Amino acid sequence: MSRISLPHDHGSDIEKHMDSLPKTEDFQVLSDIFRLLGDSSRLRIFWILCHCEECVINISAMMDMSSPAVSHHLKALKTGRLVVSRRDGKEVYYKAADTEQAALLHHMIEELLEIACPGSAYPSASRPT
Amino acid sequence: MSRISLPHDHGSDIEKHMDSLPKTEDFQVLSDIFRLLGDSSRLRIFWILCHCEECVINISAMMDMSSPAVSHHLKALKTGRLVVSRRDGKEVYYKAADTEQAALLHHMIEELLEIACPGSAYPSASRPT
DNA sequence: TTTATAATTAAACAGATATTTAATTGTTTA
DNA sequence: TAAACAATTAAATATCTGTTTAATTATAAA
């Protein structure tokens, strides 16, 4: 049983939790994922690509953004393995990656939208119960 | 039924999804939340405060970080309503906010840890040497 | 081939951000 | 009161990041 000495000892159960504290590198891996979604443009692009597959100029049009800016974000999302791409002729189509990670993040975004922005998500569709 | 004109029309069902696309401001609200967790130090602090209540110098010791730096992150987390604080004598104790939002984020962090960093979370359960 | 379109990359810049050191505020104790 | 301790705030700095404009690569059509 490891004993961790801290400056102050109020009778907390901290050592118990410190034993299960994930490694520093793991927090780095996770924060890298969160940082990808920490930009509103990139988050919006990811949301779109969770719902359909689209080429860059259409994404640019939807985002009202230059294609170099969109391309920049797509590269970041792709490097982070949140989206995948395929070329068809002159166009490159992007969509959310078919992975557990991407699915979890998408699900969480929808949940957070309901909690943090009530009444906003799916205004035309199903009414919240 | 609104019609959205895009540069390219491959037969996608994009208009359907565009109808339910959340507002730009909502993506801003969400990305602000994600950005809070997009720094490994802040993410680690939040994780700790999801598991126990601690004073600043103990958090600093656990993080191996200066107290001004920790205080800086705590202020950001508090402004984002992810943590709360109370003063007791000379010390100020912080813990995760008792809100649906904080609970959802905590739950998601644990899930992401399992997916993205398998075998890392809760090593005491799997007994590494 | 030349021309046009789609996408990426490069360079530059402005704005944001994390950390450090120093100064300050708040609380307890001697 | 003064001194010590806990925490925050301020100023400074170095780094990172998102966007723009310009240049480049890739594919298709003329």
Residues B41-87 pLDDT 10s:
999 999 999 999 999 999 999 999 999 999 999 999 999 999 999 99
- Mean residue pLDDT of chain B comes to 88
Say which CATH number the domain at B93 has: 1.10.10.10
Residue B15 resides in a domain: no
- Mean residue pLDDT of chain A comes to 89
Residue B49 near residue B94 (C-beta atoms within 8 A): yes
Is the per-residue pLDDT at B36 higher than 80? yes
Q: Which of residues 19-78 of B touch strand C (CB under 7 A)?
A: 35, 38-39, 41-42, 65-66, 68-69, 72-73, 76
Is the per-residue pLDDT at A120 higher than 70? yes
For an interface test with B, the pick among A30, A98, A111 (most B C-beta atoms closer than 10 Å) comes out as A30
Whole-Å CA distances, A54 to A99, B12, B24, B65: 18, 8, 19, 44
What's the domain range around B67? 38-116
Is the per-residue pLDDT at A15 higher than 80? no
Q: Strand D closer than 7 Å to the CB of B41?
A: no
Residue A78 resides in a domain: yes
Mean pLDDT of all residues in A42-64: 97
* Structure tokens that stand for B129 in this block: 């040497």
Chain B residues whose CB is inside 8 A of the A112 CB are: 30, 33, 101, 104
Residue B5 resides in a domain: no
Nucleotides of C under 7 A from a protein CB: 4-10, 17-23, 26-28
For an interface test with A, the pick among B43, B48, B106 (most A C-beta atoms closer than 10 Å) comes out as B43
Question: Residue B19: which of A12, A19, A124 has the nearest Cβ?
Answer: A124
Q: At what angle do helices B40-51 and A24-36 cross, to 10 degrees?
A: 110
Q: How far is B79 from chain A (nearest CA, A)?
A: 15
Beta partners for residue B96, in sequence order: B83
CB contact under 8 A, B33 and A116: yes
Residue B54 near residue B92 (C-beta atoms within 8 A): no
Residue B32 resides in a domain: no
Rounded CA separation A93/A47 (Å): 15
Mean pLDDT of all residues in A70-90: 98
Number of domains within chain A: 1
Cα A72 to chain centroid distance, Å, stands at: 16
Prediction pTM value: 0.90
- Spacing of B118 CA from C3 C1' in Å: 53
Residue A76 near residue A118 (C-beta atoms within 8 A): no
Whole-Å CA distances, A46 to A12, A68, A69, A83, B13: 41, 16, 14, 8, 17
- Spacing of B91 CA from C29 C1' in Å: 15
Residues of chain B above pLDDT 90, percent? 74
* Structure tokens that stand for B3 in this block: 């019609």
Residue A95 resides in a domain: yes
Residue B80 resides in a domain: yes
Residue B108 resides in a domain: yes
Residue A9 resides in a domain: no
Sorted by sequence, the CB contacts under 8 Å of residue A113 that are 6+ apart come out as: A120, A121, B22, B26, B30
Looking at residue A13, its pLDDT comes to 63
Q: How far is A81 from chain B (nearest CA, A)?
A: 11
A104 versus A120: the higher-pLDDT residue is A104
